[in-house]
Amino acid sequence: MIFAGIDAGSRTIKVLLLDDEASQVVASGVCDQGVRQAELADALFADVVKKAGISRKDVSRIVATGYGRDNIDFADTTITEITCHACGVHHLMPDAMTVVDIGGQDSKLLRLEPDGRVRDFVMNDRCAAGTGRFLEVVATKIGIQLADLGKVAAKAQKAASISSMCVVFAESEIIGLLASGETPENIVAGVQGSITSRIASMAGRNITEPVAFTGGVALVPGMDRALMSALGRKVKVCSKPQLTGALGAALLAARGD
């Protein structure tokens, strides 16, 4: 049987189809978020179903998650992204005890039980300075692509100090650093360090390995190294980290949750 997970995040929508009998992903897709969230999700779902070579009636159950989950009116039910990310990570990394999820507009740290259930979590959704939005801002200001941030940061002599706790003020701080002659390499390294240091502050000293890194920001080269440095722990990036929430939603759909 085929089950679907839809993760309507703040920046992107992700759809994943799962064959529960074979326990494998049949097809998946990602598109940018927009004001017509329901229409975008429906169109992406139709595209992924077509890619899988099936029809909508072949999908037994659909679970929606993420910020926009309540707008996905064709889903059978909704489940929080906390639960879905935990489920998706546990499926990919059964031994994971800590999950760091950095998305476009928020960041989360989950502590898991050995069976994959969420023991507790902390979340930053009030300031974009600890999220992927901050990386987008610095990439735009410096004039490089997100995919090149890791290569640029690797050339840094010394990470610049980014002290602002708000992305708006941090943007002004970056402009000031560039004007004062600070190198783009040092600034990018400073921003990566600033984001991951916020995660470390959220976590405190209670970090149990293995640590799984998921969310769209995990796709940005160099962020795993920055996170390892901030946490003082080894970090493993999940397979296709942007799809972890959708995978968890599909798994929960298969369970009937």
Do 28 and 15 touch, CB atoms closer than 8 A? yes
pLDDT number for residue 25: 95
Q: State yes or no: pLDDT of 39 exceeds 70.
A: yes
Strands (DSSP E) contained in the chain are 2-8, 12-19, 24-32, 59-65, 77-78, 98-102, 107-112, 118-124, 211-214, 235-237
pLDDT band at 15 (very low <50, low <70, confident <90, very high): very high
pLDDT band at 216 (very low <50, low <70, confident <90, very high): confident
- Structure letter (DSSP) for residue 242: G
Nearest Cα neighbor of 16 from 254, 217, 224 is 254
Q: State yes or no: pLDDT of 161 exceeds 70.
A: yes
Taking residues 133-146, report their average pLDDT: 81
pLDDT number for residue 231: 93
pLDDT number for residue 128: 54
Taking the alpha carbons of 56, 58, 64, 70 in that order, is the dihedral positive or negative? positive
Architecture of domain 1-93+239-257: 2-Layer Sandwich (3.30)
Taking residues 154-171, report their average pLDDT: 77
Taking residues 97-123, report their average pLDDT: 91
Report which of residues 52 and 163 the model is more confident about: 52
pLDDT band at 40 (very low <50, low <70, confident <90, very high): very high
pLDDT number for residue 151: 84
CA dist., res. 172 & res. 154, Å (int)? 23
Architecture of domain 95-237: 2-Layer Sandwich (3.30)
pLDDT number for residue 31: 95
- What pTM did the predictor assign? 0.88
Q: Which of 74-78, 182-186, 245-249 has the lowest mean pLDDT?
A: 182-186
pLDDT band at 129 (very low <50, low <70, confident <90, very high): low
Percent of the chain with pLDDT over 90: 55
Q: State yes or no: pLDDT of 213 exceeds 80.
A: yes
CA dist., res. 198 & res. 107, Å (int)? 9
Q: State yes or no: pLDDT of 27 exceeds 80.
A: yes
Concatenating the DSSP letter of every residue in 207-236 gives -PSSEEEESGGGGSTTHHHHHHHHHTS-EE
Q: Which of 28-42, 71-85, 93-107, 122-136 has the lowest mean pLDDT?
A: 122-136
Instruction: Say if strands 2-8 and 12-19 run parallel, antiparallel, or are unpaired.
Output: antiparallel
CA 249: distance to chain centroid? 14
Do 26 and 83 touch, CB atoms closer than 8 A? no
CA 76: distance to chain centroid? 24
Q: Do domains 1-93+239-257 and 95-237 have the same CATH topology?
A: yes
Residue 92, SS3 per DSSP: helix
pLDDT band at 164 (very low <50, low <70, confident <90, very high): low
pLDDT number for residue 236: 97
Nearest Cα neighbor of 243 from 63, 84, 123, 109 is 84
pLDDT number for residue 167: 66
pLDDT band at 4 (very low <50, low <70, confident <90, very high): very high
Paired tokens of 188: 């990018």
CA dist., res. 53 & res. 57, Å (int)? 12
Q: State yes or no: pLDDT of 47 exceeds 90.
A: yes
pLDDT number for residue 62: 98
**Domain residue ranges in the chain:** 1-93+239-257, 95-237
